[in-house]
Amino acid sequence: MNFKISNEKLHNMCQTIIDNEFDSIKKESDDWGLGEAYELEVLGSINKIVVNRVVSYTRINIYVDLYVISMSYEYDDFMSELNYRVQSNYFPNSFIQINEIIKED
């Protein structure tokens, strides 16, 4: 069975999924302890994640802009977790990557 999804619908769907997973990670972080202090700081530094574009050829590549409070963190571990959740729950053949990190004042 084939489904045709317009680019706009796919973009909106990806944004909704990423928003939901970001919220889920933030809720789970309430139970984290001192061992995850750095991860809590990284998560706390992210204000929002905005899908910049979605490219779908052999896989779904989702490029996101991170809006952050501080530019002093590495976001690789956070992006790995977000990728894992999206791949295992929604799009197995997808990859989320940072397009731009934007500091908000």
Contact at 8 Å (CB) between 21 and 82? yes
Query: φ and ψ at 66, to 5 degrees?
Result: -95, 125
Q: Model's pTM, two decimal places?
A: 0.85
What CATH architecture applies to the domain 7-28+35-103?
2-Layer Sandwich (3.30)
Which residue has tokens 């933030």?
26
Contact at 8 Å (CB) between 71 and 100? no
**pLDDT over 60 at 79, yes or no:** yes
Q: What is the rounded distance in angstroms from the CA atom of residue 23 to the CA atom of residue 104? A: 19
Tokens of 2: 């084939």
Greater confidence (61 vs 30) lies with: 61
What pairs with residue 61 in β-bridges?
55, 95
